[in-house]
Amino acid sequence: MYKTKPTIVLGFHACTESTARKLISDSGGFTPSGNSYDWLGHGMYFWENSWYRAVQFAHDRAITSPAVVGAVLHLGYCLDFTDSESLSYLSSSYSALKDTLEIFGKPLPINKPGSGLSSDDLLLRDLDCAVINFLHSQRERENRKRFDSVRGVFWEGNDIYPGAGFKEKNHIQICIRNPNCIKGFFHPREVDTAYDVV
């Protein structure tokens, strides 16, 4: 009953310049990510209210001709991992996936750090992706309401100072599954330094 998010949020998506032009002109449309390691399952990814983190991501990925587009998002019926009930769905989905794979003699996927990185961050999240996608497919099989979006908080990167509880790349990520949640794309503006930022 309380899964529908009533607010509009801004999201930022790192991509190539040509993709940014297509999104903003509405000629490219919605292209969901379908990687096995996607952190929040399959869908289109946005950094919630963080243009800066999207720019960092484009730089870290060495995207050729990088760009960041803004999007106005309505999360709709949201699988929100800042909510304990959504986390309980995830726990149940893990158990069901594990049992299903055991029946077929297949191993569970695993989360692992990215290759060649000094960080312990789990950047390749095959297990999380499989569990979340399994949750969505279970709901579809049971004719239950589909989630429009998935939202998660991630603590990523190095400690920002010794003993800190904060990491240098903490962020909230949004995965849009229903393209109708995207109300529009835009070019982020530069700050007009003659005025206060509001």
What is the C-alpha to C-alpha distance for residues 26 and 70, in angstroms, rounded to an integer? 13
What is the pLDDT averaged over residues 81-107?
96
Give the pLDDT confidence score for residue 88 in this predicted structure: 96
Crossing angle of the two packed helices 126-141 and 84-103, in degrees rounded to 10: 90
Mean pLDDT of the chain, nearest integer: 92
What is the pLDDT averaged over residues 112-127?
79
DSSP 118: S
What is the pLDDT averaged over residues 77-88?
95
122 pLDDT above the threshold of 90: no
Q: pLDDT tens across 138-170, in order?
A: 999 999 999 999 999 999 888 999 999 999 989
The structure tokens 């903490």 sit at 170
Instruction: Name the 3-class secondary structure at 86.
Output: helix
Give the pLDDT confidence score for residue 114 in this predicted structure: 76
141, two tokens? 């099989």
198 pLDDT above the threshold of 90: no
Q: Which sequence spans correspond to the domains of the chain?
A: 4-186
Among candidates 131, 123, 108, which has minimal Cα distance to 41?
A: 131
Strand pairing report for 149-154 and 4-16: unpaired
Instruction: Name the 3-class secondary structure at 55.
Output: helix
Strand pairing report for 4-16 and 66-80: antiparallel
Q: pLDDT tens across 12-69, in order?
A: 999 999 999 999 998 776 789 999 999 999 999 999 999 999 999 999 888 999 999 9
